[in-house]
């Protein structure tokens, strides 16, 4: 072994195999655990190699919420009076996929998500079945169904009938993702999956016709792993890799807090070294929990030019991703006394200015006369009539900001809590097969989760639960494909 892990090793270079398995799964987060479970159930001998000391990955840090809908709706959606046609679900996912949505994956997921949800329940993932209306980020207790995207907001609502689609694991408080992973891990181990921890992937091994193994570093030793049916890359994205961010998504570096554990992009780079193509590498999710309280949604965001830039009633991450694009280092949420509230402390949004008039607020912010005051005047004029002709905020969130005192809350990528993770990665088929530079599958190479550019691939279209839904469902797909190959 040389000091260069990210090249493709040739089988001829391997003197002896230290471990033999059918399917090697790299990474034990949401995608890896689901892939391992399904591969084992398909009859394959499966070994998971996880660089950390245990399962989890970024999913273990999450709220354990899945974006599920279509097929008329889940039983939980239905119980609360919501139906959810596959067509509306598909339309929403397509719009949320940005300028280049993955139509094949979207079509499959839209059709199968409800079945997938029932599968999760069959694995033992508990759902209380309750519904929380309103605009929230995650349930504060152990409730299930929430609105967690831009479904009710323009332009999505104009094209797809909205439904709440966030299905959250029953868990008291934020952070149910850990429990979700624990359950799938337990099923995987029961199914006979072998798990090696502190086991870092260093390089894929090919034989000229495809991928047949992987070199693993564990306890200071390099282990040559023969994986007869192939390797599944599920090592997450690259939000913890500063160099990759600089070279591909430099804007993300302006944000404060990467959401990841290792997430150094090793799976993407190994896939590339094997000939795989990485796409939309500039895309990333970011958000700042600027609501709840939901009264703040009745405020308006302005940039350093005092201009609005979005309908504030869409998903918080869509607002924040758009905010990052604005010229300047900061945006402000303008509120009047009637809706004033403090965002949660985590958000680190400061009260930047208070005044008896909007002119006073703009002076306090050192902004030119007329910048903010004209924007608010314009907004108020239309809001009084229940209209937002420019940005199309829904009527229920419109009210003139005319009850003093007035305030501006600052939100900034560098000073507030801006969490982020990457959305670009390897291109795969719905089966999990990794595509090469020509779009042809590489035999024996599979990937899932944020190693892949999947359903969530556009920061402005992200919705909570989209990455977990994608990772779990397409992790299973990759596991089935590789596992079935083992049996042939």
Q: What residues make contact with a second copy under the rule CB under 8 A?
A: 4, 6-7, 98-100, 243, 246-248, 250-251, 253, 269, 272-273, 275, 277, 279-282, 304-309, 325, 327, 367-371, 374, 377-378, 381-382, 387, 389-391, 427, 436-440
Q: Quick one: tokens of 131?
A: 């519904």
Q: CB-wise, 59 or 320, nearer to a second copy?
A: 320
Contact at 8 Å (CB) between 460 and 324?
Answer: no
Find the shortest distance in angstroms from Cβ 368 to a second copy: 3
d(CA 99, CA 82): 29
79 exposure class (CB count in 10 Å sphere: 0-12, 13-18, 19+): middle
Q: CB-wise, 28 or 458, nearer to a second copy?
A: 458
Q: CB-wise, 251 or 415, nearer to a second copy?
A: 251
Find the shortest distance in angstroms from Cβ 305 to a second copy: 5
Q: CB-wise, 41 or 269, nearer to a second copy?
A: 269
Find the shortest distance in angstroms from Cβ 375 to a second copy: 8
Find the shortest distance in angstroms from Cβ 41 to a second copy: 33
Q: CB-wise, 366 or 488, nearer to a second copy?
A: 366
Find the shortest distance in angstroms from Cβ 424 to a second copy: 9
Helix, strand, coil share of the chain (percent; to 5): 35, 25, 45
Q: CB-wise, 391 or 417, nearer to a second copy?
A: 391
Q: CB-wise, 81 or 439, nearer to a second copy?
A: 439
Kindly write down the DSSP assignment for every residue of 338-389, as one continuous string.
TT--PPPGGG--EEEEEESSHHHHHHHTTPPTTHHHHHHHHHHHHHTTT--T
**Nearby residues of 346 by Cβ (< 8 Å), 6 or more positions away:** 289, 417
Q: Quick one: tokens of 146?
A: 């929430």
d(CA 341, CA 332): 14
151 exposure class (CB count in 10 Å sphere: 0-12, 13-18, 19+): buried
Find the shortest distance in angstroms from Cβ 258 to a second copy: 17
CB atoms within 10 A of CB 278: 20
Q: How many residues does the chain have?
A: 488
Find the shortest distance in angstroms from Cβ 438 to a second copy: 6
């Amino acid at each position: 072994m040389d000091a260069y892990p990210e090249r493709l090793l040739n089988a001829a270079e391997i003197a002896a195999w230290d471990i033999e398995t059918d399917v090697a799964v790299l990474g034990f987060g949401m995608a890896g655990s689901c892939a391992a479970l399904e591969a084992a159930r398909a009859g394959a001998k499966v070994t998971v190699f996880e660089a950390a000391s245990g399962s989890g990955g970024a999913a273990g840090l999450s709220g354990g919420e899945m974006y599920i809908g279509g097929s008329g709706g889940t039983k939980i959606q239905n119980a609360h009076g919501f139906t959810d046609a596959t067509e509306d679900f598909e339309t929403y996912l397509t719009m949320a996929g940005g300028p280049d949505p993955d139509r094949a994956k979207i079509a499959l997921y839209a059709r199968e998500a409800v079945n997938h949800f029932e599968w999760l329940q069959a694995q033992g993932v508990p759902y209380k079945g309750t519904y929380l209306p309103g605009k929230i980020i995650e349930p504060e207790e152990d409730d299930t169904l929430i609105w967690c995207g831009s479904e009710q907001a323009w332009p999505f609502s104009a094209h797809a009938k909205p439904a709440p689609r966030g299905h959250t694991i029953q868990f008291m408080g934020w952070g149910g993702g850990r429990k979700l992973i624990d359950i799938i891990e337990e099923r995987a181990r029961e199914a006979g999956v072998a798990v090696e921890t502190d086991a870092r992937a260093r390089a894929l091994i090919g034989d000229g016709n495809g991928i047949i193994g992987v070199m693993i570093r564990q306890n200071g030793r390099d282990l040559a792993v023969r994986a007869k049916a192939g390797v599944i890359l599920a090592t997450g994205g690259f939000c913890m890799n500063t160099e990759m961010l600089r070279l591909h998504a430099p804007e993300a570096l302006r944000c404060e807090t990467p959401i990841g554990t290792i997430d150094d992009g090793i799976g993407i780079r190994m896939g590339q070294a094997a000939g795989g193509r990485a796409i939309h590498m500039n895309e990333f999710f970011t958000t700042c929990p600027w609501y709840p309280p939901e009264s703040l949604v009745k405020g308006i965001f302005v940039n350093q030019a005092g201009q609005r830039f979005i309908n504030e009633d869409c998903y918080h991450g869509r607002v924040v991703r758009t905010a990052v694009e604005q010229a300047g280092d900061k945006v402000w949420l303008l509120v009047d006394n009637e809706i004033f509230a403090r965002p949660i402390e985590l958000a680190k949004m400061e009260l930047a200015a208070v005044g008896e008039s909007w002119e006073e607020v703009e002076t306090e912010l050192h902004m030119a006369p007329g910048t903010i005051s004209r924007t608010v005047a314009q907004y108020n004029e239309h809001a009084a009539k229940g209209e937002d002709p420019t940005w199309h905020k829904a009527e229920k969130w419109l009210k003139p900001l005319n009850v003093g005192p007035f305030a501006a809350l600052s939100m900034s990528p560098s000073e507030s809590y801006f969490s982020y993770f990457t959305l670009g990665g390897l291109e795969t088929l719905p089966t999990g097969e990794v595509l090469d530079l020509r779009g042809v599958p590489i035999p024996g190479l599979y990937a899932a989760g944020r190693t892949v550019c999947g359903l969530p691939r556009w920061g402005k279209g992200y919705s909570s639960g989209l990455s977990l839904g994608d990772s779990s469902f397409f992790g299973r797909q990759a596991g089935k494909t590789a596992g079935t190959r083992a049996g042939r």
